[in-house]
């Protein structure tokens, strides 16, 4: 009987401990809920409302610039009053580092603009893009891809259709490595002097061979040597492709030293820059250092699609 009493007392003590644990958790939840409950009359809440406009940035519409042609829009920032209040209530004082923002879309988007070439991203976006035009240079592709992988950088490779036809596995390897591919014509002609039928043929054949090799349908077109006319851009738009040019040229085909190539790029690169490259020895030897220096400037490196999207980069 005595043993039974001890067991009962032990069970009761255990239940009290367990119940206390649940009670403590419940009290903690109630306390946290009370802290996080939104109270518009709270001086902290009023302070956030009063200061919100100081930190807000209006969105920027896509536009046709007189010099840079089509420029994408860029999201604005708006203070989320309630989320900011809950974030600050834990310390019960205003702290701008605890502000919570939502992004606001612009009213005019890149797709709303008439067909126009793109030379750069938005000048406020701290990102740049490498476009690598491929019609030759197979011997340097492996090194370039290895460097991009090591540095965790995605680039946009613009592929010549005839090259893809001869090198479908290399094209597939580029896509498998996580890079973007675009249309660089079929046989590298001067698009400026081609008639409409020939232009369509160059673009369509290239899209077909790229899609057959990689499963990807290009949405960007880069005219060989940057040569085009207005009709070229309009025809690309018919195939749901935007025409991409560049902001900074490595001129790597002239076989510069790595130092010359790096200095040429770093002296000109800025928010929104598109950097033109080819699979050359100069680029292969410069790429690792170039990426490091660009990152030192606090610029992200992404594909053309990354650069053109409106998502604001928050630091």
Residue pLDDT, tens place only, 29-66: 334 444 458 899 999 999 999 999 999 999 999 999 99
For strands 180-183 and 300-302, give the pairing: unpaired
Domain assignment of residue 269, yes or no: yes
31: left (phi over 0), alpha (psi -120 to 50) or beta: alpha
How far apart, in whole angstroms, are the C-alpha atoms of residue 221 and residue 232? 10
- Whether residue 162 is predicted with pLDDT greater than 70 in this model: the reply is yes
Ramachandran assignment for 35, one of left (phi > 0), alpha (psi -120 to 50 degrees), beta (any other):
alpha
Looking at the fold, whether 55 and 85 belong to one and the same domain comes out as: yes
Average pLDDT for residues 231-260, to the nearest whole number?
98
Do 176 and 199 lie in one domain? The reply is yes
Q: How far is CA 267 from CA 248, 282, 293, 297, in A?
A: 10, 17, 11, 11
**Mean pLDDT for the stretch of residues 120-141:** 98
105 and 142 together in one domain: no
Residue 85 located in a structural domain: yes
Q: Are residues 196 and 263 in the same domain?
A: yes
Is 12 a domain residue?
no
Closest CA to 161 of 135, 139, 181: 135
Q: Is the pLDDT of residue 291 over 50?
A: yes
Rounded Cα distance between 195 and 107, Å, is: 36
Which positions ≥6 away from 189 have C-beta within 8 Å? Answer: 198, 202, 224
Q: Residues 240, 189: one domain?
A: yes
CATH code of the domain containing 253: 3.20.20.370
Q: Span 10-26, mean pLDDT?
A: 48
* 73 and 122 fall within a common domain: no
Output the pLDDT for position 19: 52
Q: Are 232 and 192 in contact (CB under 8 A)?
A: yes
In this structure, is residue 33 part of a structural domain? no
Residues 61 and 120 both lie in one domain: no
Which tokens is 130 given? 């490498």
91, 111, 131: which is the final residue of a domain?
111
Residue 17 lies in a domain: no
Alpha-carbon distances, residue 66 vs 78, 116, 158 (angstroms)? 30, 11, 26
pLDDT above 90: residue 67: yes
Q: Are residues 219 and 199 in the same domain?
A: yes
Question: 265: domain range?
Answer: 115-308
CA atoms within 13 A on the CB side of 141: 21
Q: Is the pLDDT of residue 136 over 60?
A: yes
Among 59, 90, 111, the domain-final residue is 111
Give me the pLDDT at residue 315, please: 73
Same domain membership, residue 49 and residue 121: no
Helices (H), 177-274: 196-214, 230-238, 258-266
Say if residue 270's pLDDT is above 70.
Answer: yes
Q: Does 165 lie in the same domain as 255?
A: yes
Q: Please check whether residues 50 and 143 belong to one and the same domain.
A: no
Question: Does the residue 2 lie in any domain?
Answer: no
- Same domain for 204 and 289, yes or no, is yes
Q: Does 52 map to a domain?
A: yes
| Main-chain phi, psi angles of 249, to 5 degrees | -105, 125
Domain count, the chain: 2
Its pTM stands at: 0.86
Contact 74, 125 (CB under 8 A): yes
Last residue of a domain, which of 65, 84, 111?
111
């Amino acid at each position: 009987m005595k043993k039974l009493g001890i067991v009962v007392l032990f069970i009761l003590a255990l239940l009290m401990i367990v119940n206390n644990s649940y009670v403590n958790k419940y009290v903690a939840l109630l306390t946290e809920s009370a802290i996080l409950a939104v109270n518009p009359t709270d001086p902290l809440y009023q302070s956030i409302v009063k200061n919100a406009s100081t930190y807000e940035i209006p969105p920027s519409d896509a536009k046709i610039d007189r010099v840079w042609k089509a420029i994408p829009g860029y999201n604005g920032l708006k203070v989320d009053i309630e989320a900011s209040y809950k974030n600050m209530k834990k310390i019960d004082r205003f702290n701008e580092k605890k502000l919570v923002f939502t992004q606001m879309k612009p009213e005019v988007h890149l797709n709303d603009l008439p067909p126009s070439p793109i030379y750069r991203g938005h000048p406020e976006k701290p990102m740049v893009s490498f476009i690598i035009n491929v019609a030759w240079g197979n011997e340097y592709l492996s090194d370039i891809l290895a460097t991009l992988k090591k540095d965790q950088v995605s680039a946009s490779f613009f592929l010549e259709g005839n090259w893809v036809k001869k090198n479908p596995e290399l094209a597939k390897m580029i896509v498998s490595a996580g890079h973007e591919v675009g249309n660089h014509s079929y046989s590298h002609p001067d698009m400026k002097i081609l008639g409409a039928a020939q232009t369509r043929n160059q673009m369509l054949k290239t899209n077909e061979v790229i899609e057959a090799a990689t499963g990807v349908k290009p949405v960007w077109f880069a005219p060989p040597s940057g040569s085009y006319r207005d009709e070229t851009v309009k025809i690309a738009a018919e195939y749901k492709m935007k025409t991409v040019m560049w902001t900074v040229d490595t001129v790597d085909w002239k076989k510069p030293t790595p130092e010359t190539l790096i200095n040429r790029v770093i002296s000109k690169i800025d928010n929104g820059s598109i950097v033109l490259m080819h699979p050359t020895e100069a680029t292969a030897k410069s790429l690792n250092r170039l990426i490091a220096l660009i990152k030192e400037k606090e610029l992200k490196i992404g594909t053309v699609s990354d650069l053109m999207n409106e998502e604001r980069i928050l630091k």
